[in-house]
Structure 1
Amino acid sequence: MSIERPITEANAGIAQLDRRSREIFRRIVDSYLTTGEPLGSRNVSRLLSVSLSPASVRNVMADLEALGLIYAPHTSAGRLPTELGLRFFIDAMMEVGELSPDDKSAIERQVGGSNRSRSVEEVLTDVSTMLSGVSRGAGVVLAGKQDPAIKHIEFVPLDPERALAVLVGEDGSVENRILPLPRGLPSSVLIEATNFLNGQMRGRTLGEAREAFEQALSTAQTELDALAARVVEAGLASWAGASEGEPRQLIVRGQANLLEDLKALEDLERIRLLLDDLESKKGVIDLLGRAEEGDGVRIFIGSENKLFSLSGSSMVAAPFRDGDRKIVGVLGVIGPTRLNYARIVPMIDYTAKVLGNLLK
């Protein structure tokens, strides 16, 4: 497993920390990631492996605060790690272990599933749901939109001027579009268009079907009458038009998890801002796109990215590949900065590998 650990201002501070300072800093970070609460000098002194008075602990904490690694949320309160401190901890001190065989089996079972006939979108949705469950954050998956082979097409009349164009893919996906019709169009024309598409285009992708139909029209190789040909052309164009917008699909699951375990009103406001961020899909897509640029797991913390500059949130993400080792998407978890990084990082990494094997 690889984690991208960039050289940052936080990394540079490691040379200034002795063993005692690192242990005190680790205790403060561990407490924050576990409880979200600040840790005071008296409690720190009780947790240390060596005997150290609260007064001595306070001196070390003052040095850590001067380095910008911790801060006091209130006067006379304990200390919490800053975003810089979290970055320092993750890049220089966090120990990430291997998943247990039980954890690996659980991921393989939930991602792979017993039903191998699931569509790619259903698999990606299951992955997003699984990630939200193990992290108690929001699971996110970004992938290219699929162009499945056509299994069935039908034009269903709704009223004299509209029809419902239904496309069923061989992967189980269903696309519905409403088409305007010339008033007085005979129902036999819709039947002719339906029969033509199911007879000539089944097994082809939508792109292939459009290309074949356009070629047939240009060479007069179709026996469709003019009205039926217009219906076929309009139907293919409507489905293609929907897929030619944003070329990638974003799946987000588990937003409700973010509302759990709130500590104060300011937490509620932070989560409200994060939910607004998730609604702004373009920002999430752009951020996940940055995770495609590396090979390993990437971690984005708070204001390091403008998307989380107000909500103070974090994202752990990794790319996944197809059978040709080409990156085809990104999966990850978005949540508060006190995510359990040491547990989530190997889960993200292994899930990306399992999903990649499934897409071969």
Structure 2
Amino acid sequence: MTDAWSELPERAQTLLRVLIDRYTDEGAPVGSRALARMSDLNLSPATVRNVMADLEDLGLVRAPHTSSGRVPTELAYRLFVDSLLTAPGRAPVDARRLERILREAAEDDPQHLADTASNLLSSLTQFAGVVTIPSRARALFRQIDFVSLSPGRVLMVLVTNDGGVQNRIIHPDKPYSQDELTRFANFLNERLNGQSIQALRETLVAELKSTREQIEGNLSEAITLAESAVEAVEDKAGVAVAGQVNLMGIDELGDVDRMRRLFNAFAEKRELVSLLDRCERAQGVKIFIGRESGSPTFDECSVVGASYGVDDEVVGVLGVIGPKRMPYDRVISIVDVTSRLLSSALSRQ
């Protein structure tokens, strides 16, 4: 795609960039006379119209109305954004201020950190900021307790070394007395203390299963409860969202039905999680423009996202959701810098 941008004639690149910049600022079609005046190419409006006609044939611009100016298409934005991603420089961001705020927030619980980061993204871009709550996969297992609530219902309480507490009601295949549950908990605490949650999921349960025969009595049944404990700390549905109301003032998102769908997505968060998961699997900053998101809810939006992590392990994703005519150079910089600083803040814990 980057080659496609560079293959455009130089004056076509310049006019298309001016069109994107002007449309980003004003949200209205741009006429040939205005493009001629703003491009500094010393071209007549007639020549500009010819270039615009060529770009329209390539699917890069369109005229919303017969006598109106042009607006960029999703394809034009894609070519433009790909050219930005390979550019040596980025829009300036006050990294020192962000670093201080995120370091302070990282000393608190993960929810507060995600809320702080999403508010920063929203305030810096004036769009919606979204951040998945850092996974506890790196946390260390400290203690587990089981409390019998009623036949077939057990409250599991899992505590990690970072102060996190997870509660979940589980439903064992058969009833256990409180004495049996206490015995299970003691057994697991002795075996699992100090293990990372990630290690538990990947290796420990399998290791315990392979030694069932060596475990006395019915303690092997504690393995099933241990599996429930691991699942309890891997709920990745938590997403902090800030600045949704910023989208209400954007004309192309102002349709009542579209805005209702957007706000439902922000409230229910399932579509957000699915979209952000795609950013988690990508390297660097990932941009979905319009229909690239694969979700009709966001077909008039762009999403700029990036993962963040600790020690090369991804623990969450952050991003900005706004209109397709967002200032991509600035938003990409903000998302990129924030993801790096958030990773750094978590590494210092």
TM-score (norm 1): 0.73
Task: Please tell me whether residue 349 in structure 1 is matched to residue 336 in structure 2.
Answer: yes
2:255 is the counterpart of 1:260: no
Question: Any conservation in 1 of the 2:148–2:176 contact (CA below 8 Å)?
Answer: no
Shift in alpha-carbon separation, 1:122–1:188, aligned structure 2, 3 A = same
More deviation, 170-179/193-202 = 193-202
Q: For each residue in 1:161-207, what CA deviation from the matched residue of structure 2 results, as whole angstroms up to 9, or x when unmatched? A: 42211112112332222233688854444444445544554333452
Q: Which runs of 5+ in 2 are unaligned?
A: none
Contact preservation (8 Å) 2:142, 2:161:
yes
Where does 1:21-60 land on structure 2 (aligned, <5 Å)? Answer: 21-45=12-36, 47-49=38-40, 54=45, 57-60=48-51
**Structure 2 counterpart of 1:239, from 229, 232, 236:** 229
Unaligned stretches of 5+ residues in structure 1: 1-5
- Cα deviation per residue 1:280-306 (whole Å; 9 max; x = unaligned)? 3674256324523xxx43433234454
Two-structure CA RMSD over aligned residues (Å) = 4.1
Structure 2 CA distance, aligned partners of 1:313 and 1:114? Answer: 29
Aligned match of 1:131:
121
**Matching of residues 1-360 of structure 1 within 5 Å:** 6-12=1-7, 14-15=8-9, 17-18=10-11, 21-45=12-36, 47-49=38-40, 54=45, 57-92=48-83, 96-100=89-93, 103-113=94-104, 116=107, 118-119=109-110, 123-124=113-114, 126-135=116-125, 136-141=127-132, 146=137, 148-180=139-171, 186-198=177-189, 201-205=192-196, 207=200, 210=205, 218-220=213-215, 226=218, 229=219, 232-242=222-232, 251=239, 253-254=241-242, 256-257=244-245, 259-263=247-251, 267-271=255-259, 279-280=270-271, 283-285=274-276, 287-289=278-280, 291-292=282-283, 296-304=284-292, 306-307=294-295, 311-320=299-308, 322-323=310-311, 325=312, 330-360=317-347
| Contact 1:138–1:335 (CA under 8 A) maintained in structure 2 | no
What's the offset of the Cα at 1:350? 1.7
Q: Is the 2:128–2:321 Cα contact (8 Å) retained in structure 1?
A: yes
Q: Is the 8 A contact 1:318 1:330 kept in 2?
A: yes
Query: Measured at CA, do residues 7 and 110 of structure 1 come closer, stay the same or move farther in structure 2, by a change above 3 Å?
Result: same
- Rounded to whole Å, the distance in 2 between the matches of 1:194 and 1:355 is 35
Q: Matched residues in 2 for 1:186 and 1:125: separation?
A: 41
SS at 1:157 equivalent: strand
Contact in 1 for aligned 2:105/2:113 (Cα 8 Å): no
Matched positions, count:
337
Distance 1:273 1:286 in 2: 20
Alpha-carbon contact 1:160-1:181 (below 8 Å) kept:
no
Change (3 A) 1:129 1:186: same
Cα deviation, 1:36-72, whole Å, max 9, x if unaligned, reads 2222345445545476665554444334333432211
Q: Distance in 1 between matches of 2:84 and 2:34?
A: 21
In structure 2, the CA distance between the partners of 1:281 and 1:261, relative to structure 1 (3 Å rule), is closer
- Structure 2 distance, partners of 1:212, 1:25, is 60
Per the alignment, do residues 313 and 98 of structure 1 end up closer, same or farther by CA in structure 2, a change over 3 Å counting? closer
1:3 counterpart residue number: none
Q: Which structure shows the bigger proportion of residues in helix conformation?
A: 2
Residues 248-279 of structure 1: per-residue CA shift (max 9 Å, x gap): 66745237246421315774555556665963
Separation (CA, whole Å) in 2 of partners of 1:115 and 1:357: 10
Question: Is 50-59 or 25-34 further displaced after alignment?
Answer: 50-59
Deviation at 1:139, TM superposition (A): 2.3
Structure 2: how far apart are the matches of 1:81 and 1:184?
64
In 1, Cα distance between the equivalents of 2:21 and 2:231?
50
Contact 1:271 1:311 in 2 (8 A): no
- Cα 1:291/1:217, change in 2 over 3 Å: closer
Separation in 2, partners of 1:166, 1:271: 40
Among all aligned residue pairs of Structure 1 and Structure 2, give the percentage whose two residues are the same amino acid. Answer: 31
Whole-angstrom distance in 2 between the partners of 1:184 and 1:289: 40
Deviations 1:212-234 (A, max 9, x none): 7657753246xxx64xx377444
**C-alpha separation in 2, matches of 1:45 and 1:28:** 10
> Given that residues 291 and 330 in structure 1 are in contact (C-alpha distance below 8 angstroms), is that contact kept between their aligned partners in structure 2?
no
Q: Is the 8 A contact 1:141 1:250 kept in 2?
A: yes
Amino acid at match of 1:99: P
Aligned-pair CA distance for 1:152: 3.0
Q: Supply the distance in 2 between the matched residues of 1:82 and 1:41 (Cα, whole angstroms).
A: 17
The one-letter code matched in structure 2 to 1:111 is: L
